[in-house]
Amino acid sequence: MSTSLDDLRTGLEELRRANLEALAKARSVDEVEQTRIATLGRARGGLNDYKAHITALPPADRPAFGALFNTVKQELEQAIASRHAELSASAPAPAAVDLSMPARRQWRGARHPVTIVLAEIEAIFRDLGFTVATGPEAEHEWYNFGALNFPPDHPAMDMHDTLYLERGGLLRTHTSPVQIRTLQSYPPPIRIIAPGNVFRRDFFDASHAPMFAQIEGMAVDEGVSFVDLKATLANFANRFFGETKTRFRPSFFPFTEPSAEMDVACRICNGTGCATCKQTGWVEILGCGMMHPSVLEAAGLDAQRYTGWAFGMGPGRMALQRFGIPDIRIEYDSDISFLEQFAQ
């Protein structure tokens, strides 16, 4: 830039003219802001370019140019402020609220019925002094069968029921292996429940699924008896289903002796007989029994000194009873209209 007074004056006046014109044309507060930055800011091409030249002029020219500089600066500042005010006042008002519009639907998450049942069962047993134990889903054959006193040719070990893994081991067919793992990890007294998923090569029908949740329970100490088993499980049923009749039927499991199954009066028909209870008025909810001495011994315990009882139940089936769900496959469907009924 030339530094003669005339050139500076011309440049400054051109800057004023161009920017006043830009302001007049500005259609938005943003455009005014751009002009402000270009003229009053530090970037090249604005007023700042001229400021340095004031001191470079011969002393005689300085007052006149200084005065012009100040006038242009003030003029631009005022023009910017007033255009800014004008444009913000005339900015379009926000769209009016349409009160007739339907409200947006609020989606509330729900816990799955089986999760609800699992949590309730856990809470009841915690209250009775049980702690929660876990074990792996991919399990050794010994923990799943051998240690639990299954004879080597037991039909449950058949390829038809068990999912064997290619590199050895299997997917546990029940939560009972957690009994052995727990007995190996600390000494009695032991009271645990073990919730978890189990896997079977079952058909997928109204009451069977190839993967489902189980809850194992076990109490081991000196002098534990079948009376403790019956009292604990009947107490549990009353708390879980509300006051209910229970009955114990003799049964068989390789890992318990004696073994039993516990039934509760059918919730759907109140014990009078319906399709769900196959007209019997009773529904089986768990298997149980006194732990077989060989099981205690397989886990390294002295079966002369200790006794124990155990049970296994299926929260998926219990949820059918509890919520009156007719078909277990619904529990696996991820059907929102079914699941949202459980929102609390």
**Residues near ligand DAH (CB under 6 A):** 174, 176, 216, 253, 256, 287-289, 310-312
Q: Which residue's entry shows tokens 């005022």? A: 78
Q: Which residue is nearest to ligand DAH (CB)?
A: 312
Peptide bond into 189 cis (omega under 30): yes
CB of 312 to ligand DAH, least distance (A): 3
Residue closest to 325 by CA, chosen among 108, 110, 114: 114
In the complex, least distance from residue 198 CB atom to ligand DAH, rounded to whole angstroms:
7
Instruction: Please name the helix (run of DSSP H) or strand (run of DSSP E) that holds residue 190, with its range, or none.
Output: strand 190-199
Task: Report the distance separating Cα 272 and Cα 280, nearest Å.
Answer: 8
Of 200 and 267, the one with the shorter C-beta distance to ligand DAH is 200
Q: What's the distance, CA 86 to chain centroid?
A: 52
Nearest-approach distance from CB 229 to ligand DAH, in angstroms: 9
Please state, as a whole number, how many other Cβ atoms lie within 10 Å of the Cβ of residue 127.
Answer: 11
- Record the tokens describing residue 340, joined without a space: 């949202």
Smallest gap from Cβ 328 to ligand DAH, in A, equals 15
Structure tokens at 51: 């400021």
Residue 258 or 273 with smaller CB distance to ligand DAH: 258
CB of 182 to ligand DAH, least distance (A): 12
Which residue lies nearer to ligand DAH by CB, 69 or 145? 145
For Cα atoms 155, 174, 343, give the angle at the middle one, nearest 5 degrees. Answer: 140
How many angstroms separate the CA atoms of 12 and 2, rounded?
A: 12
